[in-house]
Structure 1
């Protein structure tokens, strides 16, 4: 089915103004997968919901949803539009939240470990320099740390992530990789580890937001299996119980100290690039101020404190 809307339909809706209900209708369908469930969720009739989405498609001039199969599927245009619609709805909900009427917080998202040892200095300096603008640190368990869904204004991105063209990024630092092993296991006694040392172990892999896959190992040293987890807490649990070992960065060692886990330098694994990412135009007027401050913080000398590896 062609994605381009017929000219006659586009002309009929040329003066239509898109309202929030059009975006909510589209997002409900993408979330529920059927018109029936989406209509029930929004407490509207199925014909009314179908008309609302058709109006949105007519306004945009493209088909967003492929209706040719029993289960609705997004078209290429629909997949591209979904994060934009989600971001717009989230921004409106944020603006109209009565609990936030007295301030406009700046939301910094991260999937895990934030900026590691740089996180406390960043939060302290921001509060000192911008006392009128609360900085919220939000953990969001996905690869874009909430940026795709519009739940954050700036996101900490680790590794290679596919980002839309309207997203700007700034590289901050390269984090060395470390191995995470049980404190009472045989590998904990070594001051440094290599990928070869871990190749006989079960590897805990965060499949939602992690940066480690079996591709990190040379073909002849690939570990035999993985334990897949979705959040950092489960990743830590798999290591503390001795079920698996993990590969992460120094940020995790700083943010998740645990007496049952030791972090050892990993001598032959490449560092992980850490970037800040935000949408253009910025969703908050202080986004660039935060980016500038983060750059200052990560380049300033850090006071070293004791740790567990």
Structure 2
């Protein structure tokens, strides 16, 4: 027995005619009649009463109709790739700081508006937050990211840069800081996913020492320990506030673009359009 036997029987039951059912299924009447006989032979019961001018279901046929409809609906759902994609979480990657102060509002609104699809926030120490490796379905990216093959990138906003210094240092006593103020300290550089490089400083005025780290946790730790200072964006304080760190506006450094990226042609998850719309709304303050 195959699914076509169920489809054939349900079409006959709904149309009340083998001729109309055959037309609906784009098959010949003799072929449809053979399919019905095969099903009846397999079940060992007569499903259709052919003794009247109008085709009627037998008692067994009426019972089997409900079972067949349930089974066919379950099979269609099982074979639908959209149902499988919608059943799994939507993975939103980021290398650090996610959506900044909008992260919690985004997650709360998603849970309210799309409770059927879990939204998972995944920090991946990678310039593309795992997007080009298929580890996430969409990603929040910072900095001037090179064109990503097969991906769409949309600028969400420009984030101001801030200095991150050890609490208790002389730099923490100032209301604002400049690049020259930081140049007397070693600079912590996240070489994997960070947006800070020595190119921010003019040639000849660059910091004499750097501390290279591989992820955000190491970057925060080396600054909190008083071994270096760092530069990040206005998104970081909202997610990484701790007593050992002081964040101060950096007055002479260019802003950092924050972008949302997702696959161009075949989105990895059917809920991506809903995510794009919600991210836009949240960033716009709606």
If the length of structure 1 is used for normalisation, what is the TM-score?
A: 0.64
Higher relative contact order (CA 8 A, sep 6+): 2
**Which residue is 2:269 aligned to?**
284
1:84-130 CA deviation, whole Å, 9 max, x = no partner?
A: xxxxxxxxxxx9xxxx9992211000111101100000000011110
CA RMSD of aligned residues (A): 1.5
Q: Residues of 2 paired with 1:102 and 1:223: CA distance?
A: 49
The equivalent of 1:294 in structure 2 is 279
Q: 1:121 aligns with which of 84, 89, 105?
A: 105
Cα contact 2:86–2:271 (8 A) shared by 1: no
Matched, 1:265 2:252: no
Query: Paired residue for 2:194, among 210, 231, 238?
Result: 210
Which of 218, 224, 236 is the matching residue for 1:252? 236
State the alpha-carbon separation in 1 of the partners of residues 102 and 145 from structure 2: 22
1:173 has 2:177 as partner: no
Where does structure 2 lack aligned partners over 5 or more consecutive residues?
1-80
**CA radius of gyration, larger in:** 2
The alignment partner of 1:180 has SS state of: strand
Match of 1:50 in 2: none
Please, what TM-score do these two structures have when normalized by structure 2?
0.69
Displacement of 1:257 in angstroms is: 0.2
Query: Does residue 1:136 correspond to 2:136, yes or no?
Result: no
Deviation at 1:259, TM superposition (A): 0.3
Aligned match of 1:44? none
Aligned length: 203
* Corresponding residue of 1:108: 92
* Distance 1:285-1:102 versus aligned 2 partners, 3 A rule: closer
